[in-house]
Structure 1
């Protein structure tokens, strides 16, 4: 089993529950933090002391307060950690259930597990830790794993990226039609573009075009 683990969440109750779970698994040393910057500094110090952590358990969303944080999200923390200590195992423990965000974490950020917070999340958390320690497969909570495997889910391609970029520049739908025609991007009809924008809003759970752009920028898609 892992010897040294660090967990980060901005809620004390979550940190306490995770720490208790780790202790039940017999993990010798457990540290915790409420801020991403603090977590990263602890990981770096552990490396300098030649006593590195074996596993990071992190939330994705952290509320802003009076502190000026360089790393403001779980994704930013994971990205920084993977550069500083590439072999560190990472388990995300979050209430976030958007499949596109999870796919990005698995495919681009190299996480080792994802547990969805909920009523039965502690048993899943134990399974995830044991699974990550025992093998190289990515552990995903069954409830959200089913969504990832759903073939009806929208796939984001180059066409969608170009469409989102155009929206982010403030282009109107008519201007996008004109731009796509000039650049020979198809489909370029007004109806097709409108339908695709609506599908993207549904997929990303966006209330309007501005919200859609904010979400996709946060995800690093544009």
Structure 2
């Protein structure tokens, strides 16, 4: 079914009420995966007309997402990616890991945003960022939709490039999410270095549940400076 294209309505509202002109749309991918990082993209688009077909990445075919991501990376004013590794997710919990990835993305932009549009209803970013949360922002807001597509395509590519010794897990197809193939191979071979070991899925795997980690928060300053990442970002 057709969907209404995203607009700049929220961006215009923020400009009118706050005076902010540099506004970043932020979206994440990988929150529900069992393996791989959580990835956040921050995109600045201004008020220009977006590429035809832009919408929430989940509504696009893989082929169209990849085509659109290439187009978007040339079209946006600026964009940057931030990641939190499986190890950091285990240490911090998902909410704090999302914030870490988002801050990394925002601070990697060539200009500091004066306001941020965050997809969803929960502000996991917080001060000092000026945040507007928008439910289904990846469908409603141009900048968030652009961030959604870029984040999804780039994270999928990272998962597809994991070492060949883990090919049985079909990460190129499932991107670390719990597909039937992923579940079956996980039960047989156990978790890889790219799996999140504090997650409940291990409770259902008698052979491997001894590997489950109890979350012990790490030093935030150490993680902000890079910490030990499970991926070469």
Question: Which category describes the TM-score, using the shorter chain as reference length?
Answer: under 0.3
**Greater C-alpha radius of gyration:** 1
The structure that is helix-richer by fraction is 1
